[in-house]
Amino acid sequence: MIQNKRPAPAPVAIVFGGSSGIGAETARRFAEAGHRVAVVGSRPRSEVEGLMKEVVGGLYLQTDLSQAGAPGSVVEAVLEAWGRLDAVVYSAGATVRIPHPDLPSVTDEVWERILLMNLRVPWRVVQAVEPALRRSGDGSITIVGALAGVDVGGSSIPYAVSKAAVHHMCKLLGGVLGPEIRINAVAPGLIDTPWTDGWDALRSTVVKTAPLARTGTPGDVADAVFGLVSSRYVTGQVVVVDGGLSLVP
């Protein structure tokens, strides 16, 4: 007797900070690969209608991630909608441009905002998603860090420190979340996003210096993110996506 097998349900992904830039491109990639995608962002729904048309069948959750309970509320909404969770990407964050020698401009408020969004919120996300990802048996978390957390540089010292910290957090978590969950980080160099509009001088320097002779695109980073999600024998790693810029003395 031939028995008809039910098709496996499509995997579910959450992209925190998914309404623009790297996060939006990552959400598109998940959707193209057949995932059901929850896009999390702070923008009103009216501002992401175009994106959500591309993320077919997706769910948009407008959320203020600075609120302590926000990640848990997102997970609850996703489980209520689809009953499972397989992959999580954290692409939200904060920065401010302050020249590194300008120590007086780095106030406590600057530190608090950057550390909140770049380190404490990703930690809360990990705590919130862990139970559901363990149930999936093959869960994946990818955090978008920065080249500034690997090498000397970055838009400000607090930004660079926050990214170095979140990279190390991924390494530590890689040792404890397995075997059901893998966690990795990507560390982009200069990427052409709304964040970097107007950074023309730096963009020119990167084009002249990097071995691949260009700045990056959100798609370049999304490629790396999706590659890590698909790499089932990789955890606790930081993958640099910088066109080779960090190789130049």
Q: What is the pTM of this model?
A: 0.94
The predicted structure's pLDDT at residue 6: 67
Looking at per-residue pLDDT, the higher value among 92 and 202 belongs to 92
pLDDT at 8 > cutoff 80? no
Tell me if 188 sits within 8 A of 242, measured CB to CB.
yes
pLDDT at position 197, please? 82
191-231 pLDDT, tens per residue?
998 778 888 888 999 999 999 999 999 999 999 999 999 99
According to CATH, the superfamily of the domain at 12-244 is NAD(P)-binding Rossmann-like Domain (3.40.50.720)
End-to-end Cα separation, the chain, in angstroms: 67
Q: Which residues are catalytic?
A: 159
Q: What's the whole-number mean pLDDT along residues 123-129?
A: 98
- Is residue 98 within 8 A of residue 155, CB to CB? The reply is yes
5 pLDDT more than 70: no
Cα(54)–Cα(42) distance, rounded to whole angstroms? 19
Residue 104 has which token pair?
């007086």
What is the residue-averaged pLDDT of the chain?
95
pLDDT of amino acid 158: 98
Q: pLDDT at residue 135 above 80? A: yes
Close Cβ partners of 151 (under 8 Å, ≥ 6 residues apart): 246
